[in-house]
Amino acid sequence: MANVPDKILTWQMVQPTSRNKETGEVTPGKMEKKEIPAPELKEGDVLVEVAGCGVCHTDLGYFYDGVPTVCKPPLTLGHEISGTVVAGDAAWIGKEVIVPAVMPCRKCFLCKTGRGNRCLDQKMPGNSIGIYGGFSSHIPVPAIDLCEVKNRGNLPLSNLAVVADAATTPYQAAMRANIRPGDNVVVIGIGGGVGQYMGQVAKALCAGTVIGIDIDQDKLDRALQFGADFVINSKGKDPRDVAKEYKGLCKSNGLPGYGWKIFEVAGVKPGQQIALELLSFIGKLIVVGFGMAKVEYSISRLMAFDAEMIGTWGCLPEYYPAVLDMVLKGRINVESFVETRPMSTIAAAFEEAHHNPPKRRLVLTPDF
């Protein structure tokens, strides 16, 4: 067991990237290495020594795109965390854990009615629990929602950080979509950090045919090995052209043109436009990805198609053990989709993930 620190070492976002609306001038964001106080733990809290923290699209939105955080900078980003409990509740000390990306209050109406993943008083590392986040040596969190890691074999604990968001968010989306064995699925953005798990989760839940859509052919080829039955490269194509290709694929393979469950995971305008173009009779569109763009759509089509369009946020902590079990039993592949780097490279990692997303999810490991 690691020593309990008096101080926490962390990489803080002291200033997000900003753009002057009048001149268009961009002021780059700043990350700084800081030493902050280790908090006095409240009853039910624990201190987790971070093994790894994933670089999520949401973090990039906070840093580059003006997406507001609940707690204002300076604060430490990072909500995709795995680690070991080193202080606090005695029953948890020494245990390896995954920290849920969103932790509900367990008291409000939403929590009591099974919608705690969207609890309005939820705690989210790197956003709404004060200055503390996952890009640090340690983080204080409530113990009640921790997911214990057991029998992980040779799988590094740091790599399991992606379960905290990238792998569990698709599972929550699948639950919202009410995926049943044999359901046909489209994943738009299947090559991304969350999309690559959306296809795998769908197959793990016994979906029928999975069609992956993305703009990166290498990632599409990889998706065919991990969940996708067919893929469509949408790079440079109009949404209607993609829809035409999709319909042709369905027709040539004896697949229905109705009833598909479409997961828009990219969070970008072209992906959203494609998703809306594909939504048809008794279909269901689940919006997983987040973006700042606005898309025009005639909502009367929902009536005409008897279709549905719903959003999904995070994942209930109750679902984490099921997803972790899928990972540890090999039904969801993590190893092929993770790349670990030292946390001291955080500035370069953010730049790369923002401008030229790598083929694997970047997980930063503390090297203070």
Q: Which domains does the chain have, with CATH numbers?
A: 7-165+315-365 (3.90.180.10), 169-311 (3.40.50.720)
pTM listed for this prediction: 0.93
> Between 341 and 356, whose confidence is greater?
341
Amino acid at residue number 293: A
* Contact present, 355 and 223 (Cβ < 8 Å): no
> Is the model's pLDDT at 262 over the cut of 80?
yes
Burial class (CB in 10 A: 0-12, 13-18, 19+), 181: exposed
Distances (CA, A) of 102 to 29, 45, 80, 126: 25, 15, 10, 10
Instruction: Please say if the pLDDT value at position 3 is more than 70.
Output: no
Q: Give yes or no for residue 326 having a pLDDT over 60.
A: yes
Please classify residue 256 by burial: count the beta carbons closer than 10 Å to its beta carbon, then call 0-12 exposed, 13-18 middle and 19+ buried: middle
Residue type, 57: H
**For 83-110, what is the mean pLDDT?**
96
- Residue that wins the pLDDT comparison between 342 and 293: 342
Of the chain, the percentage scoring pLDDT greater than 90 comes to: 90
pLDDT tens string 43-60:
999 999 999 999 998 999
- Mean pLDDT across the stretch 144-159? 96
Q: Is residue 149 scored above 80 in pLDDT?
A: yes
Section 145-154 average pLDDT: 96
- Residues in Cβ contact with 307 at an 8 Å cutoff, skipping those fewer than 6 apart: 279, 280, 281, 282, 283, 284, 285, 301
How sure is the predictor about 94, in pLDDT bands with cuts at 50, 70 and 90? very high
**Whether residue 1 has pLDDT greater than 50:** no
- Is 70 exceeded by the pLDDT of residue 2? no
Share of the chain above pLDDT 70, in %: 99
- pLDDT of 358 reads 86
- Report which residue type is found at 213: I
